[in-house]
Amino acid sequence: MKSNKHLYNIILIFSLTLLFTFSFVNISFASTPYIWSNSSAIETSSENNSADLKLESGGAILIEQTTGTILYDHNSHEKFRPASVTKVMSLLLIMEAIDSGQLSLKDNITCSDHAASMGGSQIWLEKDETLTVEEMLKAICLNSANDCVVAMAEHIAGSEEEFVHRMNAKAKSLGMYDTNFKNCHGLDEDDHLTSSYDIALMSRELLNNHPSITNYTTIYMDSLRGGKTGLVNTNKLVRNYQGCTGLKTGSTSLALFNLSASATRNDLSLIAVIMHSPSTDVRFQEAQKLLNYGFSNFTNISFGTKGDVVRKSSC
């Protein structure tokens, strides 16, 4: 018995030695440069980064924009009606069309009967009225104009139905498995649902890959039609929260009050999503609470820049 136990100990020590060796020693068979890929990490400055923020909203999430790291989670996969936060996905497809060259900011977009018939938030487009893509973007980002987003959807995809099909396809490709879009504007419709987690995913995609959207989401006031139509951003954080970069509000009587809020301070970019909040004041307060929590407790640390040669080794 002692002999078998002694043999077992020798085998265990030998196995651990091999594991340690191959975990920390890099064996190279040729002269090879080690090229750095962009890499960063989120460091917490708090011993407990799972604090209970006592949110009243039905669902919420806070993520770091660059890496997608989840910093705070509150029922983030529970499905709710998104209202006009839906337009984050619509804006994503619009920006893809612009950045791919399919659309120009100066292109004229004509309003159809269907687009002109939209209720809810709008700028009262008339049938056959035209605005440029840039003017449409301002109306969508600031006033959450349903008529404008439908006109854009029809121009890009031929119909709102086809555009919504593309929205759902994009959602699936991003891993938005809690989401089903039924329209491009966010007015209440059965089975038009998403989660705060999924809103964070599409918000991150929009901000990371199409950063020029912030040229519009950060505007507080503007006008169209030669100054006849005033625009005021429905996202009050743009005016009163340091570093705010957007992104989109949404509310209906059934959806209650939703918000995807983004901000950047000291190289740390955060996205806070609030869903099913009991009031407009609460949604903004709780978005600020999430963002403040992130900026107070986390730091974005970069380990290197893509293309940097870390070291060279040879056999």
- Residues recognised as catalytic: 84, 87, 144
**Cα 63–268–74 angle (5° rounding)?**
20
Going 164 to 167 to 169 to 172, the CA torsion angle's sign is negative
The token pair at 262 is 């983004």
Distance of CA 268 to the CA centre of its chain: 15
For the sheet with 256-265, list strands across it: 70-74, 59-64, 268-277, 256-265, 244-252
Task: State the first-to-last Cα distance of the chain, in angstroms, to the nearest integer.
Answer: 45
User: Whole-angstrom Cα distance, residue 303 to residue 301?
Assistant: 7
